Structure 1
Amino acid sequence: MSKVIRIGTRDSELALWQAHTVQKKLNDLGYKTEIIAVKSDGDIILDKPLYELGITGIFTKTLDVAMINGKVDIAVHSMKDVPTALPQGIIQAAVLERANTLDILVHKGNFDFLNENGTIASGSLRRKAQWLNKYPTHLVEDLRGNVNTRMQKLKDNNWNGAIFAAAGLERINLKPSEFIDLDWMIPAPAQGAMLVVAMQDDEYVLDAVGQLNHLETEIATYIERQFLRTLEGGCTAPIGAIAKYNEKDDTMYFKGALFSLDGKQKFEVEKTVPLIEWKKLGFFAAKEILEKGGAQLMEELRSQLKK
């Protein structure tokens, strides 16, 4: 059997880059492909913060519907945008090798404001909370839109800087020279990784896409998303997580944190375990945070984000 694999994607420059990357990998394996771009609600509604839209998976919902309706065979996503619970009938088909996991601050050639009062921009509750935790006197403005739109808004406003995922800017050659690596900021779970999903009963597509899977990235992102899921935080909650494999001693390192919206509360956990214990690492790390007081903070966050 041979069929054209229809690749569903959002129509932003970054999303199309990701789709074309998957397309090339499949073509190199001998598969026929076609890219079908759709616009998601997350790209269209730019005047509200994500959490006010009331749903998780806003950047994936449109593609989920297209796949269930048989309009596309697979969908390519930035994995950090994907809810931890996939819709019925849709499964994780491959996680591609991870890129840069860091957040970066893009500034305007001067970062003296870090030592005084400043204004930066970000549409992420996680980034905002961590920034305010470190710089409590600063203001953080909301910043929405695709990468290109956000870069333009930074130029057009008098903000001192804006926070971006390094991987996104690097993939489409938009990373400027005026930036700082925020190596102290814990990234979003699965940041820097690309996910391909497919219908669970499509054996032809699953066999094809499965060949693109990168095991080390799959394990690391599983741990991070397990941490997120156990905390019961949606994609927009102020939760950071990073897992890394250490080949030298065959261990798995994990660091995760939960923040209040204003950054004043922080619950953090850091663990290193033998690789054989990776399957429950995210779960136990999250339970530790919940028992430290994170459970009460999660209740407060749910109440605040519903308003």
Structure 2
Amino acid sequence: MTTTTLAENFNQIGIIGRLESRSVEQSVLRLLQLLQQHNKQYCIEQSLADAMDVLDCPARDRQSLGQWADLIVVVGGDGTFLGAARDVARYEVPMLGINRGRLGFLTDIMPSEMETGLADVFRGEFQLEDRFLLQAKIIRNGDVVAQDCALNDVVLHPGQSIRMIEFDLFIDDQFVYSQKSDGLIVSTPTGSTAYALSAGGPLMHPNMHALVLVPMFPHSLNNRPIVVGAQAQLCIRIGHKNTLPPHVSLDAQNHLELAHGDELHISKYPQTVKLIHLKGHNYFETCRTKLGWGNRIENLERESDQ
């Protein structure tokens, strides 16, 4: 399906946001005006509607919004987008982010671009990326006792303990190593610019179909990040020597608690997030801007003009 054909189906627009500042409220109100001008039906998530009592429009919870909408517009920062993506990923509805946060790797449309950006999207002039998620399951005595998904990363960490944790890692039923460390970050390409990056992991282009496993302060200096295919089945067995059971964090927002002897299974989530960028979006330009990479060519041109 072409982007033009896909855009023709953008008739019911769901709006998700977290009211953290006056700027978010202003962007939501402006967004509603623009959707009215484009003759689109729209519905706002219930929690945002409750926080903005000036609104007079239909509201639904996120699950219902995911089922109803042809397009989801997220107003906020990357954290807001992560939470929204996890909640509606099963419906595979395209998602567009209006940046009211700091970095904006996912919500990369600035408020000043909203008017022209929406017009371009409704004309089908946009780029569409499929971003895969991770599914984490905790297995206890052969039964699944907890599960959740993550777009950025699944992180095994000590929780309230300050001691290192011990665990065994298996990939596709093959033993990899026993490790003693502060934990392990399992990241998608989307999450490679987040926590995994700060722990020394590599940047992975969003088009890559791979996972990176980044040890957190391992006791052995020989432990290094490992990159595996996205279809890999990971199993982390929690040792009985840990003082306190470790925890699992998903996108640093949702948390699961492990018990001694549990297994943490991590695999690719069945559905993907369909992320919309404006035409001309450049991943490396985003990295230069957000991560402070040097603009060497621009500097050389500036020096030659002097």
Please state which band the TM-score falls in when normalised by the shorter chain. 0.3 to 0.5
TM-score (norm 2): 0.33
Q: Which has the higher contact order (CA 8 A, sep 6+)?
A: 1
Name whichever structure is richer in strand by fraction.
2
Q: Determine which structure has more spread, i.e. the larger CA radius of gyration.
A: 2
Name whichever structure is richer in helix by fraction.
1
TM-score (norm 1): 0.33
